[in-house]
Structure 1
Amino acid sequence: MTQQQADFNQGLIDFLQASPSPAHAVNTMVRELEAAGFSELNESEAWQLQPGQGYWLVRGGRSIIAFRLGEQPVFDAGVRMIGAHTDSPCLKVKPNAELLHQGYLQLGVEVYGGVLMHPWFDRDLSLAGQIYFRNEAGKLQTALIDVKKPIAVIPSLAIHLNREANKNSEINAQLHLPPVLGLDASADTDANGKPNPSLVLREWLATWLRKAGHNVAEVIDYDLCFYDTQPPALVGLEQEFISSARLDNLLSCYTGLQALLSSKQPAATSLLVCNDHEEVGSSSATGAEGPFLESVLRRLSGDEQEYQRMMARSLLISADNAHAIHPNYADKHDENHGPKINAGPVIKVNANQRYATSSETSALFRHFCDLAKVPYQHFVVRSDMGCGSTIGPVAATKLGVRVVDVGAPQWSMHSIRETAGTKDAWYLGQALQAFFCEWDGD
């Protein structure tokens, strides 16, 4: 691993650690964009854009579009786009979450996305996300919260009480996943004889916000998820692997952001979109199936004819991690399409359009890899297995734009802790930079 690769991976580790929720990921990206001189745009205001300048805008606090306007008109040069997603499968806290069972305080959770449930047991869990509160003046405000310290655990059932656990252990999300936060203190009362308010989640959150310097009268609502407090780490005898939560798909968000920041004076407009809600189908105002990206592109193009000309010259790289071949389950892959870790980004192909890659867009991405002097691989699911999907087909259908679906190979997708290669994020980043900075459009 070269020093450049080591520095890149440390940046990725810092980004993962700072981004326990989609809202935190967006906030972390905004800080980097601001430091690089990008300016904020507001969807409700008129835009006055200057070639060569970078801009960003956020929708819902959890989806972001950032772009650098090129020197050439968009209807002549098109837009070079990278798409990723900010969300990861997790356990989200329900609105009326408090549960008191057998003398323990728990919180009810809802499974978000296709969670691999077993690895969530016996982890040191914390909470992060968005909170909406009313201040003392009666104004509704929002803030991010990251508790950071371990405050909960989902204990496994001892094998003595479930002798078939290693053969067949079904998890009921309603009954078996509520994390334990502590002992039931409901017998404690305040000076007025009322139950101790520390048991009420909203009051606990309000206290946390006040300690963080916010003027909080009442917490109104929240979007909170549990996460594993174990930090990202380099793993392996030669540190060949990076192990972390949320590699799917914050790795792609980070590599796409670094590629955009590298495009200093582009001839064509370079754009990064990181949507929320990919893990649950993308059908939302902030998801890839919503109008966020299309509305920005239409504002960049002007009238309808210029928009259509722009889209015909544009390309979107949908970056979302791919399934690396597992040494213990190699039969789960097609024998000629099993991507290996640290062997380069993966071009994802599916004849039934679960991925939007075509032979044209696959050839283009190979060209970007050749320009960057990095290897590449292919993934095609076994013909007797179902195939996952990502934002690529959604964007292709909605926008009519050319799309290639790619991603860094990883193990343990949708687990609470995933593993990728220390070279692959770098390889992907180099290919994306070549797309933005070196490709002449032909």
Structure 2
Amino acid sequence: MEPVLDLAAFVSASPTPYHAVAESVRRLSAAGFTEQVETQDWDDTPGGRYLVRDGTVLAWFTGGHGVRRAPLRIFAAHTDSPTLKVKPRPDTGVAGWRQVGVEVYGGALWNSWLDRDLGLAGRLALYDGSVVPVNVARPLLRVPQLAIHLDREVNQGLKLDPQRHLLPIWGLGAAREGDLLEFLASETGVDASQIAAHDLVVHDLTPPARIGRDEELFAAPRLDNQLSLHAGVTALIAASRENVPTTPVLVGFDHEEIGSDSATGAGGPLLERLLTHLAGGAEGRDPVFAAARALSCDVSHAAHPNYLERHDPSHLCVPNGGPLLKVNANQRYATDAPGAAAWRRACRDAAVPSQVFVSRNNIPCGSTVGPILSTRLGIRTVDVGVPILSMHSARELCGADDPGHLATAATAYLTDPA
């Protein structure tokens, strides 16, 4: 299947981090990977393994060389995206409208969620300790914008109060506590009285699509950062089909969009525990970590034709120009010269075009899991990604060729022993 169409299928199956992990596991399992249960003894026989904790997935492949004799090559992405998350007591409403209480997750572009048909997805935690996935993938919710007749100055500057103006409507009538959970119980076939808690977010229902005169562009929700996660899964599976001289590792972290400080975020211990085991334990890990390399992969900014003054004129990145190397003098990206050379070598060996991204001096860039990993682990890390427009919108845009370019270059990086 064409890489961008495969990405479309991946995104459509993954409205939340939990679903993105499940789709990654489905693909890894189909490729012969088996689960490493976190509470059980490690399986160090050759082959592919994956480990899941909530919205985070780790996967790795060891060949006949053994886990401790091959250099570690790590691909790190994240599974979460900016969105609206349902509050613990969600049932609210006024003036005959039933609404759902939400709070903003991450740095979402609030206006991009207005006037869209939205679904609801996530998970229900039951009193017996089990977890039930949820995905209502049909028009259920809508955040209505105020008519221009009632705000004549709206086109001179839209101002939204997230507490008042981002509440979705989902019906008519008086709000009644328990309505939403009763609805979700009927959707999932569970007893509403057994639902103890939930993690639920809204998601845009417009399907991914190739667009443009020549269909050279690709629009979809959650490209930040499911585009990168998809590339990492694809690259790891490709690497597992070769007799590679490395131990390739994939990690998709949750909670990057809110700072990564959680048990399943990049600031948590999961990746360090795995890499320490693969290195043969804490006492012998220093030389293994010193020889390891990590690729921190997250989307970046394409040059916006309507706001070109917001970009550095010498580092304009364009769709279908290939994945880009991210550089920042203040280490908001972890890239250094040796790491950049390793990435450029991977792109050269894979015959993939590449670009370089640097922010303007007067517009600070964001950051990624890269600086967190390099600081926590002391492993040389390079930041890369695909250029997109509308970052953190409910729907984003990239070049249709770039997802395939990224997966191809990532495969070369994961299998490079130099």
Report the counterpart of residue 207 of structure 2 in structure 1.
231
Secondary structure (helix, strand or coil) at the match of 1:363 reads: helix
Report the counterpart of residue 124 of structure 1 in structure 2.
117
Report the counterpart of residue 105 of structure 2 in structure 1.
112
Report the counterpart of residue 188 of structure 2 in structure 1.
209
Q: Is the alpha carbon distance of 1:74 and 1:310 closer, same or farther for their aligned partners in structure 2, counting shifts above 3 Å?
A: farther
Are positions 1:297 and 2:275 aligned together? yes
- Which of 45, 60, 82 aligns to 1:89? It is 82
- Which of 43, 49, 56 aligns to 2:50? It is 56
| Conserved? CA contact 1:76–1:309, under 8 Å | no
- Which of 264, 284, 304 aligns to 1:326? It is 304
Task: In structure 2, list runs of 5 or more residues that go unmatched.
Answer: none
Q: Distance in 2 between matches of 1:351 and 1:70?
A: 38
Report the counterpart of residue 402 of structure 2 in structure 1.
424
What is the CA-CA distance between 1:217 and the residue it aligns to? Answer: 4.7
| Conserved? CA contact 2:342–2:413, under 8 Å | no
AA in 2 matched with 1:202: L
Larger Rg: 1
AA in 2 matched with 1:112: Y
- Which of 158, 164, 168 aligns to 1:179? It is 168
AA in 2 matched with 1:209: T
Report the counterpart of residue 400 of structure 1 in structure 2.
378
| Conserved? CA contact 2:93–2:174, under 8 Å | no
Moved over 6 A (4+): none
Report the counterpart of residue 27 of structure 2 in structure 1.
32
1:31-430 to 2 correspondence within 5 Å?
31-51=26-46, 53-59=47-53, 61-134=54-127, 139-185=128-174, 200-210=179-189, 214=190, 217-263=193-239, 264=241, 265-430=243-408
- TM (normalized to structure 2)? 0.97
Q: Deviations over 1:12-57 (max 9, x none)?
A: 0000000000000000011111111111011211112112x00000
What is the CA-CA distance between 1:73 and the residue it aligns to? Answer: 4.6
Q: Is the alpha carbon distance of 1:66 and 1:364 closer, same or farther for their aligned partners in structure 2, counting shifts above 3 Å?
A: same
Q: Distance in 2 between matches of 1:401 and 1:74?
A: 17
| Conserved? CA contact 2:83–2:108, under 8 Å | yes
Q: Distance in 1 between matches of 2:351 and 2:280?
A: 37
| Conserved? CA contact 1:75–1:306, under 8 Å | no
Q: Distance in 2 between matches of 1:143 and 1:328?
A: 44
Task: In structure 1, list runs of 5 or more residues that go unmatched.
Answer: 1-5, 187-194
What is the CA-CA distance between 1:185 and the residue it aligns to? Answer: 4.5
Q: Deviations over 1:230-267 (max 9, x none)?
A: 11000011111110100000000001100000112322
Q: Distance in 1 between matches of 2:142 and 2:24?
A: 30
Q: Distance in 1 between matches of 2:172 and 2:192?
A: 27
- The alignment-based identity, stated in percent, is 43
Q: Distance in 2 between matches of 1:71 and 1:268?
A: 11
Q: Distance in 2 between matches of 1:299 and 1:215?
A: 41
